[in-house]
A and B are shown apart, each in its own frame.
Chain A
Amino acid sequence: MTPKMTPNLQLTPDGRLRHLLTLDGLPKRILTEILDTAQSFVSVGERDVKKVPLLRGKAVFNVFFENSTRTRTTFEIAAKRLSADVVNLNVSASSQSKGETLLDTVSNLSAMLADMFVVRHSAAGAAHLIARHVAPHIHVINAGDGRSAHPTQGLLDMFTIRHYKGDFHNLRVAIVGDILHSRVARSQIHALTTLGCPEVRVIAPRTLLPRDVSGMGVHVFHRLEEGLKDVDVVMMLRLQNERMQGARLPSAGEYYKHWGLTPASLKHARPDAIVMHPGPMNRGVEIDSAVADGGQSVILPQVTYGIAVRMAVMSLVAGANS
């Protein structure tokens, strides 16, 4: 499912991050550098003037072939806080519907003197393809490709966990829901494993687990209460409505009954466990409102930290010109 890629496509010859396409295979050194840099950008967000001049004069193109509100907006805010000029393109509504190929769209945007592309696409590997074809000074950030990866979401989740839990070395983390279709889950699992989290659990019905799940280094649970027992972090996934029609699940109500995170099921986790969700949430499907809005929820801080993490990624790749 994860597209084949040149191992060094993301890194410069001297080991710096040039593009961010996937967390799969990125060394711990790079992940830690991104999280540490993001920490410094959090303090920029707390000032009156929330901008720094790092990307002054650079043009960042948010090229979204698939809908997004949160991710696109936080990338836009991040780029603006770095003083870049931002252009937002909703391509699904324009060129592609007229038959232009992905690489032609990118070539045209490059001709408009883009310095960075932030790309979301429904096809796995789209960001890799662009990264392979852009000029050496252009940087590509994957903002979600198919079921493959959503690396900045994975990173902001790691930032949030580190913020609340200190580090990863004694943590038990559960990822709950539609693992099969989730690029977020894949990025989370790679990041948690690389950062040294000793126990990553996935909790899902059999129909929503990938066949190769046992090879991902995770512990698999099919019952929510069992899987949540004594965990420090609960990461919920969105149940995509379209899955209901695919006969993988009987109904939203049925899913909620067995897999919805409620105050009662959360009691099985540690009392200081945090609850995360990448959004958008389906209240009453995968998560109960009492949990989403409760004291253990860090769902809104995740969004805020997403800005600092995306600032860190953009400034690190923009600085890696070899």
Chain B
Amino acid sequence: MTLPEPNALIDSLAAQLAPVMKTDCALIGIHTGGVWLRDEIIQRLGGDHLLGELDVSFYRDDFAQSGLHAEVKPSRIPFDIEGRTVILFDDVLYTGRTVRAAINLLFDYGRPASIRLVVLIDRGGRELPVCADYTGLRLDLPTNEHIDLLRSEAGALSLVRGPW
């Protein structure tokens, strides 16, 4: 199976998001792929939004097994999240555990009015009752394979897939 070009998927996501991405929405990316995706969407749609970034390492449920993940990045939400509509971006939706962690993290900043989830790839394999509101591409990947969004030094995005 050849993987699609991420830019085409982002174009289709941008078209889905255009009617809902109001300026009072907070656009929050999950490090690191989710932040890239959010920035690509902003580039296409423009607008002056509240921006934040999350690293979910401190909220992961596999800490007891695998410890702290390398290169934790600071989370940054430089505005009051209380009562706001949050659009949450991630690159790949798989088990749903990252999104669970991100939602817990968001609620430690305040009580948003709503949270919408945007993902570039939904690869199936959910272990928690989580689903995306906006999806670039649905795939049914076997559990022994991973799919990742990469970004080159020059800023070009690409998708890679392979065995874990």
Name A's B-contacting residues (CB within 8 A): 16, 33, 36-37, 39-44, 47-49, 51-54, 315-316, 318-321
- For the complex, what is the distance from the CA of A52 to the CA of B75, rounded to whole Å? 12
Given contacts A40-B55, A321-B64, contact A48 B76 (CB under 8 A): no
- For the complex, what is the distance from the CA of A259 to the CA of B58, rounded to whole Å? 44
Write the chain A residue with the least CB distance to B57.
Answer: A40
- For the complex, what is the distance from the CA of A320 to the CA of B109, rounded to whole Å? 28
Given contacts A43-B75, A47-B109, contact A53 B68 (CB under 8 A): no
- For the complex, what is the distance from the CA of A40 to the CA of B31, rounded to whole Å? 13
- For the complex, what is the distance from the CA of A320 to the CA of B58, rounded to whole Å? 15
List, in ascending order, chain B residues with CB within 8 A of A42's CB.
Answer: 74
A39, B59: Cβ atoms closer than 8 Å: no
Having A40-B57, A41-B58, one finds 7 other A-B pairs with CB under 8 Å, namely A40-B55, A44-B75, A48-B108, A316-B67, A318-B63, A320-B67, A321-B64
User: Is B72 interfacial (CB-CB < 8 Å)?
Assistant: yes
Name B's A-contacting residues (CB within 8 A): 55, 57-59, 63-64, 66-68, 70-76, 104, 108-110
A319, B72: Cβ atoms closer than 8 Å: no
- For the complex, what is the distance from the CA of A49 to the CA of B59, rounded to whole Å? 13
Given contacts A51-B108, A54-B63, contact A44 B68 (CB under 8 A): no
What are 26 residue pairs bridging A and B, where the CB atoms are less than 8 Å apart in the complex?
A36-B71, A36-B72, A40-B55, A40-B75, A42-B74, A43-B76, A44-B58, A44-B75, A47-B108, A47-B109, A48-B109, A48-B110, A51-B108, A52-B108, A53-B58, A53-B59, A53-B104, A54-B68, A315-B68, A316-B67, A316-B68, A318-B67, A319-B63, A319-B68, A321-B64, A321-B67
- For the complex, what is the distance from the CA of A185 to the CA of B83, rounded to whole Å? 49
Contact of B74 among A16, A43, A318 (CB under 8 A): A43
Q: Which of B67, B76, B104 has the most CB of A within 10 A?
A: B67
Write the chain A residue with the least CB distance to B76.
Answer: A43
Whole-angstrom distance between the Cβ of B43 and the nearest chain A Cβ: 26
Write the chain B residue with the least CB distance to A41.
Answer: B58
List, in ascending order, chain B residues with CB within 8 A of A48's CB.
Answer: 108-110
List, in ascending order, chain B residues with CB within 8 A of A43's CB.
Answer: 74-76
A33, B70: Cβ atoms closer than 8 Å: yes
List, in ascending order, chain B residues with CB within 8 A of A319's CB.
Answer: 63, 66-68
Whole-angstrom distance between the Cβ of A11 and the nearest chain B Cβ: 13
A40, B58: Cβ atoms closer than 8 Å: yes
- For the complex, what is the distance from the CA of A33 to the CA of B63, rounded to whole Å? 16
List, in ascending order, chain A residues with CB within 8 A of B63's CB.
Answer: 54, 318-319
Closest 3 CB pairs of A and B: A319-B67, A52-B58, A49-B108
Whole-angstrom distance between the Cβ of B102 and the nearest chain A Cβ: 13
Write the chain B residue with the least CB distance to A50.
Answer: B108
